[in-house]
Chains A and B, each alone.
Chain A
Amino acid sequence: MADTVILSLPGIHCAGCIGAVERTLTGTKGVTTARVNLSRKRVTIDVNGITSDPLIAALAQAGYEAHALDAAMLTSVDTDAKGRMLLVRLGVAGFAMMNVMLFSVAVWSGAALATQQMFHWISALIAVPALLFSAQVFFQNAWVALRVGRLNMDVPISLAIILAAGLSVYETSIGGDAVYFDAALSLTFFLLIGRYLDHRTRIAARSAAQELSALASPDALLVTGDTTRTIPVSDLAIGDLIRVKAGMRVPVDGQITQGTSDTDRSFLTGESLPVQVHAGSDIAAGEVNLTGPFTLRVTRVGEDTTLARMARLVEHAEGARNKYTALADRAAQIYAPAVHVLALVTFIGWLVLSADAALALNIAISVLIITCPCALGLAVPAVMTAATGRLFRRGLLVKNGTALERLAEIDVVVFDKTGTLTEGHARIDTDALDPTQLSVLAALAQASHHPVSRAIAAALPATLQAADLTEISEHAGLGVMGLWRGIPVRLGRSDWVGAVTSPALQIGDAAAIPLTFSETLRAGAADAVARLQSRGTPVHIFSGDTQTAVSALAAALGVTQARAQMMPDEKLSAIKALSDAGKKVLMIGDGLNDTAALAQAYASISPASALDASRAASDIVLLGRSLADIPDAIDTARSARARVLENFTIAAGYNVIAVPVAILGYASPLAAAIAMSASSITVLLNALRVR
């Protein structure tokens, strides 16, 4: 059975990766073809009777991280019919523009009488069908806006194109000079470039969001009697028993009926250490089961789960953000009425002065053509494409069309702690221990699979010689013990080894040594915080973790504004309070407890390691591990904003020169063509100056 599997490959970046991935996959049994798409960081594989699992395993062995994506969910984006149609229209407009320009140049350089007449007719034959096909995008948008009684940028565009083409056909039929086919076509061509760039930014955002939801696993293991079967989470009812294996994310809220384990709730609460759970413990959806399997009685499903309640908080907070009006729309709100009023005034003025309706109409139309917001239509998308491309190469994926505009304005930065400023995994401090104790600790830690033990083992130097232990036994929920040179040694919970804090190490009857944890700072965190503060942007830390852990980190980073033990809704209201005080907040966080705050903030960034919901709620996803790029991203956003405003000025400048000429009735088709192309090209070149 032939089938298509799509895998996400977040780590690929070069020709070597493409070759290695394709060779690995084509060498796997059951694979027909494999084709890597580097732009989307994905591979599409045609397979015969196998699933994605062996392919992911094969890639993991070759050193590439891969995730299965839901192929059915992604096809709608991959085919991208709208983008392709825009390109076809762009191609047709470009083809027609170049050919008509050929005839126009001949006319401008002196072709007259019958030759001029013939050239105008040929131009009309090319231009009218090309315009009807290519400019449809603008006509449709303008119609939609007019029907609800609103004006958008497409209304003056459509009007200019239709009037220019109509006037030109009329002039051609009476053998006149005012033929604007080339202007109408170059207008369409340049505006379609802007439209396509805009569409590409949007589609990239949408495909990222779809990829996130395609990654989520919507299944649960239902326990009925002695058997388990996989059912969709949406089919679970209150009272059902489900089995959660080690390593799985808990899909619904529930209470443990059987089994002991540790869960990682850092995404929910920001706590950096795993929490021990046993029969009777309440578990919230989103926690990750770390050590042993347990059975859960479902207490809340669907809309009532902690996860869904957080999603509602996010939805609510996002409403506020959607009120943001993009710069281009704000410009259009001023520009569109101004253009129409100007053309109308010109028409009335000439009608009164010359009493010649045909002449007045002719000049009014030339005003509309000259003022048509060609450069304005390119001003924003060209800059945003240049800026998002630059950021993507640095490892920042911009998901939202207006994200950069908002990022440019921020004046306060709020960081989450666990998983954002820190790596999210606690590390053990080994300074207080002597070499003998260290070697015993290493031996005990290596013997256990408990996440805390593994963190300890990982933190110890690799050169350390582990002591020889015998009779090692692991006591679930308590710790691990063994015999070292005949003395019992123990590593475990405080009450089990007789210490004040957990975990602790005890050798023989000696006093237990409590082990203290510290967190590893994420790469670039100190650098990012220092650079933000040095340029006068206040930095806050909002964390759900304990006061001690937060204070220690804040002191290390030199952050004075740090708050600990915050619940998700406290984070949300703290962000709201800052916004109400007139601040524009950039929130950087990864956990589920941050999602509402991320959505509420003026702009937001989350690391790629964040939970799907957090990435979905944020504007920008940090693909790399380092935070050092965040100040640079703000710089790029500010530079992009400056370029956009410059582009508006350039476009306005052209109009200041060209409009009086047009109003006075001196506008020629040649002048219109030059003004149009020159302003569009200047705007495009200026966009490339984004740093």
Chain B
Amino acid sequence: MNVLIILIPASLILACLGLAGFLWTLRHKQYDDLDGDAWRILMEDDHINDDTEPKT
């Protein structure tokens, strides 16, 4: 049962990382245009490394 001492904090830390990740994506407006992002992945982005490409 001693393994619990490692497993419990490990599972909690992993879950916290997940939550932090979710809050980060939320703050960076990743859910504002779900339709558009679904299409963007198919675009041939010639100007992807361009300075004009806006940051998300």
Contact = CB atoms under 8 A, between A and B. Distances in A.
Contact of A18 (B18, B31, B39): B39
B11 to A, nearest CB: 6
A39 B34 CA distance: 7
B3 interface: no
Given A88-B26, A91-B22, A102-B11, A23 B33 contact: no
A92 B18 CA distance: 10
A285 interface: no
B1 to A, nearest CB: 7
Interface in A32-59: 32-40, 46
B42 to A, nearest CB: 5
Contact of A15 (B1, B23, B42): B42
Nearest to A125: B12
Interface size class of B (residues with CB under 8 A): 20 to 34
Contact of B52 (A19, A33, A126): A33
Given A99-B12, A122-B8, A40 B43 contact: no
A37 B36 contact: yes
Interface string B22-56: 11001000011111100110110001001011100
Central interface residue in A14, A15, A92, by most chain B CB within 10 Å: A15
A15 B39 contact: yes
Contacts of A40: 33
A87 B19 CA distance: 11
Contacts of B34: 39
A84 B33 contact: no
B39 A38 contact: yes
B16 to A, nearest CB: 8
A95 B52 contact: no
Contact of A99 (B11, B23, B36, B39): B11
Given A15-B43, A99-B12, A39 B36 contact: yes
Contact of B47 (A14, A23, A38): A23
A115 interface: yes
Interface in A1-35: 14-15, 18-19, 23, 26, 32-35
A95 B19 contact: yes
Interface string A219-244: 00000000000000000000000000
Contacts of A126: 12
B19 to A, nearest CB: 4
B54 A34 contact: yes
Interface of B: 1, 4, 8, 11-12, 15-16, 18-19, 22-23, 26, 31-36, 39-40, 42-43, 47, 50, 52-54
18 contacts: A15-B43, A18-B43, A19-B43, A26-B52, A33-B52, A33-B54, A35-B54, A38-B33, A39-B33, A39-B36, A88-B23, A91-B19, A91-B23, A95-B16, A98-B15, A99-B11, A99-B12, A122-B8
5 tightest A-B contacts by CB?
Answer: A38-B36, A15-B39, A33-B54, A95-B19, A26-B52
